[in-house]
Structure 1
Amino acid sequence: MDNVFFKGQVLWAQIDPNRHLRHSAYADFCAQARSNMLNGIGLSLNQFAIHQIGPILFREELIYHREIHLDEEIYVEVELTKYNVANSRFSFRHLVFKADGTKSATVIVDGAWLDLEKRKLTPIPDEWSHFIAKIPKSEDYEEISA
């Protein structure tokens, strides 16, 4: 449970006409979990703002396993599955669980860091490498150097 970065209750506004969690709410929960994780290791939004860097996603894949309904408690685990040291591209896997431990969804995102002034991809500052080392890694984690 050291990879849990979000816990919460499913709200009325997050339910779709089929009476289960709407697809975009999964992305919202996972984005909040990533933000909580980055903040927890010391990379707050203020740090990103100082360096004029922001994350950008290229791909987001959602695999449903079990329905989640109104008022259920959920939690989200986050782990880094791939990181390219040379160009700071990354992949995260999020596992969304019901309070009883039932896995409800897997969400995978691929992205990189964006220089907000130049609007181009950018490597992270060298002094951030110790932050990256603190991110929980998956068992199948792959680090790429080129």
Structure 2
Amino acid sequence: MKTKAVIGLLLAAMLLYLVLLGQRGVVLIASGEPVAVALGIGVLILPLVVVWAIGRELLFGVRTEAMARQLASEGRLPPDDLPRNEAGRIERAAADAAFERYRAETEAAPDDFGSWFRLACAYDAAGDRKRARAAMRRAGTLHKETTPRP
């Protein structure tokens, strides 16, 4: 719950910033000078890009959380039992072994969102964030396709 409160606070601050930025864009456009108008248009486009990017990340988080809840209720979440070093980081050899297990599981059941979710967790444990996000997006797509709408 603390995380959601922090996200809400950050979104409120970002909204204030975007409103102030939008006002500056309007002032620049109202000046009538060609360079200022062009800059003002750019300043107005920037908040749209920011809102799109934030919305996309929030939707990714909401979908990931929904998948995790479903897998937890089914007893299919990967356990967080990998050995860690003194700094709290997962030991690389253990992460690689877990990755191989989840990769084989995903190859055996490529249409199961749960196997892709667990593979994403294994990529993350191994430190490969780019592939972890790609696998989690694939899990989200499969989850959306296979989960009936209320």
Q: Flag the structure with more relative contact order, 1 or 2, with Cα contacts below 8 A and sequence separation at least 6.
A: 1
TM-score bucket (shorter structure) = under 0.3
Which one has the largest radius of gyration? 2
The structure that is strand-richer by fraction is 1
Scaled by the length of structure 1, the TM-score of the pair is 0.28
